[in-house]
Amino acid sequence: MVKNTPWTPEDGAGETPKMARAALFLPEASDYIGSSPAESKSLAQPVTTSPFVQGLIQEAQHHHLPISVGIHEPSSDPTSSRIKNTLIYITATGQITQRYQKLHLFDLDIPDGPTMRESDIIEPGREILPPFPTPVGKVGSQICFDLRFPEPALALKRQGAEILLYPSAFMPETGAAHWMALLRARAIESESYVFAAAQVGWHNAKRRSYGHGVVIDPWGKVVVELGGEGTGEVEVGFVDVDLEKVERTRKMVPLLRRT
C-alpha cells in the first residue's frame, strides 16, 4: 500500500525518511489455522520465540517495510485455558509497536450448516486501541468478526483514523452473504479507507475461508478485490492511498451525529 505524499515524522514510530512510504497488510491468523481447539492452543507461541513472527521482523528490517499481521499468542493470564487472536504492527526497524486483541468472537450455529465457537478457544480483548500513525496513514485496528459492529469503527474515526483494518478468515457461508456489504458499510459510514486482507481456500479438512481480500475507499468504492476460494491462488493487491480523498469525502458529506 503506497502513500504518495512526503514523509513526515508523524508517519510512524520507528520509521525514517529513507524508508519506503509503504506498508504490507496480511490476514487474520496468518501464522496458522488449527484443525482442532487443542491444536490451535498448542501452536500458539510468544512473539519472542515464534519463528513466523521473528521471520517477519527480519523481512521488515531487510526490506524497510512495515508489516501488519494477525497471529495467535498465549494468554497473559496463566490460569486461562484460551489463547489470544491479535493483530500486531511491525515497524520498518523491526519493532512491534501495536498489539490489538480481537474484541468480538465468532460463535456460529447455522441449521444444517457449519457450527463454530471461537469463544471456546480465544479470549476476547477488552479495549479499542487508539489509531496509530503509519507511512500510509493513521490506522485503526479491528479483526474479522469486529466487522459486524459499527460502533468501534465510528469510535476510531472520531479519534482520527483514516484507514480501518479488518484482517479476516471469513467462512464462505457468511462471506458470500455479508462480507462485501459490511465492509462497504464500514467505509461509507466512517468515510475512511478499509483494508481487509483475507484468508482464502482450504486450511484443513474442516476449515476453509472465503477470500476476496479488498481495499475500499472513503466513498465506498472497491478499488482492489482479490480472488475467492475457488481460485486456489495466493494473491497480493497494491493500492495508492490518497489521504486527501478522506478529507474531501468528509467535507463533502459531513456526518454530524445526533446522539
Just list the catalytic residues.
28, 102, 144
Half-sphere exposure of 209 (CA within 13 A, CB side): 24
- Dist. CA 183–CA 226, nearest whole Å: 14
- Dist. CA 114–CA 100, nearest whole Å: 28
Tell me the β-bridge partners of 117: 107
Q: Are 46 and 84 contacting, i.e. CB atoms less than 8 angstroms apart?
A: no
Instruction: Give the cell for residue 72.
Output: 495467535
Q: Which of 26, 43, 23, 25 is nearest to 34 (CA)?
A: 43
- Dist. CA 200–CA 197, nearest whole Å: 10
Q: What is the DSSP letter of 177?
A: I
Q: What is the DSSP letter of 22?
A: B
